[in-house]
Amino acid sequence: MVSNLHLVLAACVLACLAHATATTISVDAPTPLWTECSNTSHGFTVTNLSLSPDPPVLGKNMTVTITGDLSEAISAGEFSVNFTFADVPVSRTTVSVCDIATCPVPPNPSAVFVFQAILPSQAPTGPYVTNIILSNSSLAQVGCVNVRFDISTGLALDHDHDIDTLGDSPLDGS
């Protein structure tokens, strides 16, 4: 059963987080935490990141706004967005830099990139880690950020049926 797998995965994630308690699964999701993960000192160093809505909603676009220090011009490239739940890849999307910015993008200490990303409405609720990598036209990594958020409506934990309804009805109260 999808729901049983989900519960096992969620239990593992919760057990592995030293600070986590049962209250992690609640309507009040934490503010997304992001951490820089770049393996190069050149390129793009993320200085801020926000999601809207926050937390994201399954089956609806989230607007990702990334601000950072771009030290080298980008003539072309892409953002690779890899959503994982309990270390299992759930969904991946790529966004061309030139579709969301005017290329070449010149060096800028506070470059801003804004794009849409979406998690399928059938995806599990719970804690996600999203790995976002910016590659340049040589396909070399020039920036990396990991984003944590918690999709926890409290509706979909026990019944597959509730997961199905998430995509159809807007969530209220947040």
Strand blocks (E) in the chain: 33-36, 44-52, 61-70, 77-85, 88-96, 108-118, 126-136, 141-151
140 binds ligand NAG (CB under 6 A): yes
Supply the minimum distance, in Å, between the C-beta of residue 97 and ligand NAG: 12
Supply the minimum distance, in Å, between the C-beta of residue 63 and ligand NAG: 9
User: Contact, 40 vs 119, CB < 8 A?
Assistant: no
45 binds ligand NAG (CB under 6 A): no
Between 67 and 106, how does the x/- string for binding to ligand NAG read (CB under 6 A)? ---------------x-x--x-x--x--------------
Assigned token pair, 118: 């979406």
Alpha carbons 165 and 167: distance in angstroms, whole number: 6
User: Contact, 78 vs 93, CB < 8 A?
Assistant: no
40 binds ligand NAG (CB under 6 A): yes
Alpha carbons 158 and 173: distance in angstroms, whole number: 20
121 binds ligand NAG (CB under 6 A): no
Which residues of the shown chain bind ligand NAG in the complex (CB under 6 A)? 39-40, 42-43, 48, 50, 61, 82, 84, 87, 89, 92, 116, 118, 131, 133, 136-138, 140-142
